[in-house]
Structure 1
């Protein structure tokens, strides 16, 4: 039995379809992969963190406080606990300790005792008038006749130290004191300095007070 040939129209349609399919295949890029699924928000955040600089590296270093106080620093009067004004005799010892801590001793003990005795006497003479005649170079005749500025009964030396004053033959007596003036006003924490010198021509020369300007 002889096979029947396909109709010419069917051959034409088949040829056209094959031609269109070929054109489509030629237009697609070689090796093109299907698009990957979109990354989830969690995965995107993880990728951003891994590629960003370290947070520790970006954060400035915080300076920490030293663990110990530097050595060699001298104590000061500001750091000491001073008594409040008007506390009376009970607070004088704190002032004395503060002076000694702020200004360490630098004189021989004998010189320091001599200077403190003279400095206290000079301050009392200047404030109350008692003993001015003992120091004619410091209190000339005109000053000896002046009325005392402070009452003897309410005069009190709260603290005193004697230290070198720029050289081995110069010294100063630093005094803190309290008193009531002629107007009846009481004030404590007053400060007075008396300066002394001594001759360098002989040993153990006495300390000589200098007049206050």
Structure 2
């Protein structure tokens, strides 16, 4: 891949990493909650679960679209996909904020964007055949899983840090499989990996929804 394409992929990475330099508010204390998501009392728990599943699976499909366009050298498509991916990140942060408040929303967004920045770094490494950059990105992603686990565990005692970190690690691994298949120009393997990666997000969304309902039963049980 030529230097110009690597440059615009890298520019998106810098934008995402810049979002992580914003001040991060602390996660709310246990039991603190803002207005719940707008849904009828009899279906609040079910809609919370469905909503999180939709957002997290969308995250994977949009990430896959962005990396595929980047590796294929389709600049306009990549920028559009990256924009949609960031809009999804904002939507996920708002979902978190609707439960835990504005402070948690503001803290979650740069944290979530950070792992996307590392995914972009890995993609740049793959595009440039830079094994060192790939390894650094993977190390950063593995380290990130601990930070993400700590964030959710601090907000909800029903989410052990180690369990969350392991689930997010599997997210990283499955998304890496997608990028590797895309780089190998193996569409059959890439789309199989993409479905696997998207399906895995249920293993994050479901426990998160269940933990929230357990934490706030009066809010989410009809």
Sort the TM-score into its range (normalised by shorter chain).
Answer: under 0.3
Which gives a bigger RCO, structure 1 or 2 (Cα 8 Å, sep 6+)? 2
| TM-score scaled by length of structure 1 | 0.27
Structure in which a larger fraction of residues adopt helix: 2
Structure in which a larger fraction of residues adopt strand: 1
Q: Rg larger in 1 or in 2?
A: 1
